[in-house]
Structure 1
């Protein structure tokens, strides 16, 4: 998978692209938002910055939207704890108060690999996860693998027929996101 192939595919699909981020802009975005771009995400953003509906402006012209997207996986889990009875047995006894449940969720989700917004509610794992990371679609605890890697994701999201075989998927080290995606994290 190369980021150049992703950029080519995005251009073919008429996604608006700005000049890529410089190394200084990448470091600034990582500091500003408290994330670390994984290698594939970093490579894409150095070649081109996709812009427009659904994309995140890492140059900070829409900073609050980026911050909200970074918080969204945690807030989605908390929503499902409160509204949909999500409570994995591994978390112990479910506390009676919202405040106590919220603290448990905060502690638990803080141990999960961080997800970095890519497009709409699609996320890539943050560094130190290496190249070839899957792209997750995350809506509360409804998580699916939307691409086995960034190129496969772009092909699926933007409607081409090029899709990599499922055998190329490596989600090791991405639990519990991957467990939610494969319904192995049962409340």
Structure 2
């Protein structure tokens, strides 16, 4: 994939870049945070590493940055639990929602832990770890208000940095991701 135009636009918008990650850095990061970079994200981050403007600086292993990255991983679950407690969120596929709040949260946690892991990219934009292949959609996640923000990584970066309009996303071509697409579809049917 040719990211040169997108990287140029990102630089014009003030994004600071560092040298791309090395194979040994990928191994260390994946072990540290217990996930695997999807092939297209790995390809992009091996070319160049955006390190500013709410991007994840994967290279920075300082205690504070590791904590910030872990918070970004935890953000999705925390938002979901908030909506279970305060906004009556519950997927029908999970069965009957327990009356006891802690039991409901416990069931939500189990479902979340079995879902494809979301890897933070930028602000509250995430890419699913699985399926482990290129072309996974980018999700914008704020509690359970989840929408697609790109058919894939390249499309997403173009949308985020105004090289493509959001309404030009080909939503019909987006790969369905178990659990996360269920949430998106739940809200779409309620609208």
Calculate the aligned-residue CA RMSD, in Å: 2.2
State the 1:90 CA deviation.
2.1
Counterpart residue number, 2:148: 145
- Runs of 4+ in structure 1 off by over 6 angstroms are none
State the 1:122 CA deviation.
0.1
**CA–CA distance in 1 between the matches of 2:86 and 2:105?**
13
**CA–CA distance in 1 between the matches of 2:172 and 2:97?**
37
Q: Aligned match of 1:130 in 133, 136, 149?
A: 133
Range that drifts further, 111-120 or 127-136: 127-136
Identify the structure with bigger relative contact order (alpha carbons < 8 Å, sequence gap 6+). Answer: 1
User: TM-score w.r.t. structure 2 length?
Assistant: 0.86
Counting matched residue pairs gives 185
Cα gap change, 1:128/1:23 in structure 2, threshold over 3 Å: closer, same or farther? Answer: farther
Cα gap change, 1:42/1:5 in structure 2, threshold over 3 Å: closer, same or farther? Answer: farther
Q: Do the aligned partners of 1:3 and 1:43 also contact (CA within 8 Å) in 2?
A: no
Cα gap change, 1:143/1:34 in structure 2, threshold over 3 Å: closer, same or farther? Answer: same
Q: Aligned match of 1:120 in 119, 123, 142?
A: 123
Q: Do the aligned partners of 1:15 and 1:51 also contact (CA within 8 Å) in 2?
A: yes
Cα gap change, 1:37/1:6 in structure 2, threshold over 3 Å: closer, same or farther? Answer: farther
- Normalized per residue, the structure richer in helix is 2
Counterpart residue number, 2:36: 36
State the 1:184 CA deviation.
5.3
User: TM-score w.r.t. structure 1 length?
Assistant: 0.88
**CA–CA distance in 1 between the matches of 2:171 and 2:103?**
41
State the 1:28 CA deviation.
0.6
Q: Do the aligned partners of 1:113 and 1:125 also contact (CA within 8 Å) in 2?
A: yes
Structure 2: give runs of 5+ residues left out of the alignment.
none
Counterpart residue number, 1:64: 67
